[in-house]
Structure 1
Amino acid sequence: MMNERVIYPSLEGYERDVINSTHAGFGSRLVAYLVDGIVIGSLKNILLNPLANLFNWDLSQYFLAPIFSIGNMATALIYFLYFILMTWFFRATLGKMLMGLKVVSTTGAKLTFLQVLTREWFGRYISGFLWSLLYLVVLFNPKKQGIHDMLSDTVVIHERQERLRDRLESGMKQNNSL
């Protein structure tokens, strides 16, 4: 049901727009991602730097290539764990919560751990290629899905609009049953 919205041509502009437009666009998702970047950077500094000092780690030491430094691998672990755990437990990261967004399954069912893992690990890894330009897919997709959303059958929605849409739809059903 999440994929297909019923079009109500008899409704006046605002109500019809609310019912049919709950998907979050690129701008609000970008702001949420920037907030999440600040949170991840803070977590990195709070967790990684004290551990490095405690265990006398050289974060610039690397295996095979500089990209595989201890600091880079630990930062990647914090990055992916943040997105996976926040989406699994809350259906939103702190940035999404601040923007009133949440991740839902396109089927309307509860998110599975495989969906979350696919979206937040594999999908984000793919979307991060080419200087993160693949996130721009959201701008051109009618359901405002990124590659990571399409791979995991998820969509990011405005939570407040979804609640309003549900109330309007239930009101329409009640009026039609009279």
Structure 2
Amino acid sequence: MELKELHYQGFSSRWKSFLIDNIIVGLFLTAVSFINLSFHRDFSVYLISNIIALSYKPLMETFFGATLGKMLINLKVVDYDGNSINAAQAWLRHIFRISQFLLSVFFYYAAFHDPILLDTEGYADFQTEFLDAYAGVGYISNALFFILLAEVLFMNMDPMHRSLHDRIAKTVVVKAE
């Protein structure tokens, strides 16, 4: 068996790919959310668009070993031996974002059925009233922010540049061959 030489990637290159991916997913989600909250206010539209956005990274990493952002920066997600990751590993890498969604979805369900919120005018008013009425979403976002800080610390202290989600999934991000 031939051992692969892995070139582990740290914060800088991973941050660039993260930004690219979040622009791609963010533009989609913002456009759908804006239209939905401005005109329709339909929970199913919220749910489907968020599941699509949430699935982007795990599906791309399962089938291609990288997201579009990682591909543009020439990165790849592999297991500790340098082999392609499986679907379970890809989904585990995104456990914190999935958890945030699962914890928040109940607040959004309530909001989309709240007559006071449904009577607000436009996107901005809905968002403002939503955050006032459902402060728990803010607490969930704050917790995710602190997890993100821990992720960066772990990544910078680890010789293989593994963050918490990499450790959970037993993966590393490397320079693509």
TM-score (normalizing by structure 2): 0.61
Deviation at residue 108 of structure 1 after TM alignment: 3.4
Q: What corresponds to 1:144 in structure 2? A: 161
Greater fraction helix:
2
The one-letter amino acid of 1:89's match is F
Where in structure 1 are there 5+ consecutive unaligned residues? 6-18, 60-69, 164-178
2:86 corresponds to 1:112: yes
| Contact 1:123 1:147 survives alignment (8 Å) | no
Matches within 5 A, 1:26-105: 26-50=11-35, 56-57=40-41, 76-105=50-79
Find the structure with the greater CA-based Rg.
Answer: 1
Q: Residue 132 of structure 1 aligns to a residue in which SS?
A: helix
CA displacement, residues 124-156 of structure 1 (integer Å, 9 cap, x when unaligned): 758934162022111110111111111111000
Where in structure 2 are there 5+ consecutive unaligned residues? 101-142
Percent pairwise identity: 29
Structure 1 residues 22-31 or 38-47, which shifts more? 38-47
Q: Residue 93 of structure 2 aligns to a residue in which SS?
A: helix
In the alignment, the residues of structure 2 paired with residue 107 and residue 123 of structure 1 have an alpha-carbon distance, to the nearest angstrom, of 26
Aligned pair count? 133
Deviation at residue 41 of structure 1 after TM alignment: 0.9
In the alignment, the residues of structure 2 paired with residue 58 and residue 105 of structure 1 have an alpha-carbon distance, to the nearest angstrom, of 40
